[in-house]
Amino acid sequence: MPQTAPRAGTWQGSRPRWWTELPLIAVVYAAYSAGRLLARGDVTTAVDHGLGILHLEQRLNIDFETPLNDIFTAHKLIGIPADFAYASLHYVVTPAILIWLWKRHRAADYRLMRTWLLVSTLIGLVGFTLMPTCPPRLLEAGHGFVDTMAQYSSYGWWGGEASAPRGLGGLTNQYAAMPSLHVGWALWCGVVLWRHGRSVWAKAVAIGYPLTIAIVVMGTANHYFLDAVAGAAVMGVGLLLAKPGLRLAGLIRARLGANQRPDQAGNPAAATGTTGVATAANGASNLNVASNVSDKCETSARERERIPRQQGRDADGSASGDGGGRGAGAGVRSGTGGKTATAGDSAAAAAR
């Protein structure tokens, strides 16, 4: 049976395999982490960017991080849970929702949301590279910010350098504040839960989780308000590019699939060999068929020779049987008639 090539785009209807998804996500995340480290930039430039953002917010009266940080540092019952949330939820909730989407929903929905997340993360990496920014907690103390991660470090696993575990602060880029992908990823989680969650609780979390993360990143002095706005803007751009990214991936996949199929024009030796094998196989098959047909024809000829002789013998047997039957019938009739005549003569003589 001839092989039919799959139609373009049909691969999108099948669920992605986990052993192909994990390397893809791992590569993007590794690039994201490595990019954060490589895009440290100059500290002076990063501080200048941070002060520029802060001054702009102060002129617009949108420096919400200042009063929030005062509350988080003054109240331990708020600051400590906020630090735990900042250090963990970003790396737990997002993968959990991605896995839930992969297991419970349509492949097309998963592909779109996964592509949206990955593209947005790469865009954020570009922002870290082009605009290294000092977070509020690393500004001079005169600006009024307190690093709550350092203040409450004895309660958690993090040290005084960002949210990294103690001793690993050097593996993080503390000047990757613009945009805030904590807020961006949380917004992605909220959209996924709102679109695909069915319960009222899912809808509530879809609204509450992004808002909570936005408050946490400002209250812990890890981001400015405009960092959070930039994180949301990055997710918007990523969403616009998700579908074109899927189409591009489909074209690349189709091209790779076409290159993997045998190309007769590009490899005539292989094509000739394949054709010769197919021809030999067809020839052998035809010989077998011809041999079977010949045997059947000879058998039919012998049957035709045998059938007339058999029919003659059957006819002679039938005639002999019919003659014997007629003779027997006549004998029976003769015997009966003779007995009847004899009985009649005896009766007539007795009467006389």
Tens-place pLDDT, residues 216-254: 999 999 999 999 999 999 999 999 999 998 888 788 878
- Chain-centre distance for alpha carbon 271: 34
> Is 154 within 8 Å of 162 (Cβ atoms)?
no
> Is 107 within 8 Å of 9 (Cβ atoms)?
no
Residue 345 to residues 84, 333, 341, Cα–Cα distance (Å): 141, 18, 6
Residue range 149-198, pLDDT digits in tens: 889 988 877 766 665 555 555 556 788 889 999 999 999 999 999 999 88
> Is 82 within 8 Å of 216 (Cβ atoms)?
yes
pLDDT over 50 (residue 33): yes
DSSP 140: -
What is the C-alpha to C-alpha distance for residues 35 and 39, in angstroms, rounded to an integer?
A: 6
Helix (H, G, I), strand (E, B) or coil at 133: strand
Residue 261: pLDDT band (50, 70, 90) is: low
Residue 254 to residues 22, 112, 141, Cα–Cα distance (Å): 21, 18, 57
Residue 40: pLDDT band (50, 70, 90) is: low
DSSP 309: H
What is the C-alpha to C-alpha distance for residues 289 and 6, in angstroms, rounded to an integer?
A: 34
Model's pTM, two decimal places?
0.66
pLDDT over 50 (residue 269): no
Residue type, 41: G
- Amino acid 19: pLDDT: 63
Residue type, 291: S
Residue 27 to residues 11, 30, 34, 49, Cα–Cα distance (Å): 22, 5, 10, 30
Residue type, 94: T
pLDDT over 90 (residue 279): no
- What average pLDDT does this structure show over 99-123? 88
| Lookup: tokens for 287 | 């010989």
What is the C-alpha to C-alpha distance for residues 161 and 159, in angstroms, rounded to an integer?
A: 5
What is the C-alpha to C-alpha distance for residues 77 and 217, in angstroms, rounded to an integer?
A: 16
- What average pLDDT does this structure show over 197-209? 94
Among 10-14, 81-85, 218-222, 279-283, the range scoring the smallest mean pLDDT is: 279-283
**Could you identify the residue written with the tokens 């290159």?**
259
Residue 89: pLDDT band (50, 70, 90) is: very high
pLDDT over 60 (residue 280): no
Average pLDDT over all residues of the chain:
74
Q: What ranges in the chain are assigned the alpha helix state H?
A: 18-38, 43-60, 65-74, 76-104, 107-130, 148-151, 181-196, 200-219, 225-260, 268-351
- Amino acid 340: pLDDT: 38
- What average pLDDT does this structure show over 101-122? 87
> Is 261 within 8 Å of 20 (Cβ atoms)?
no
- Amino acid 168: pLDDT: 55
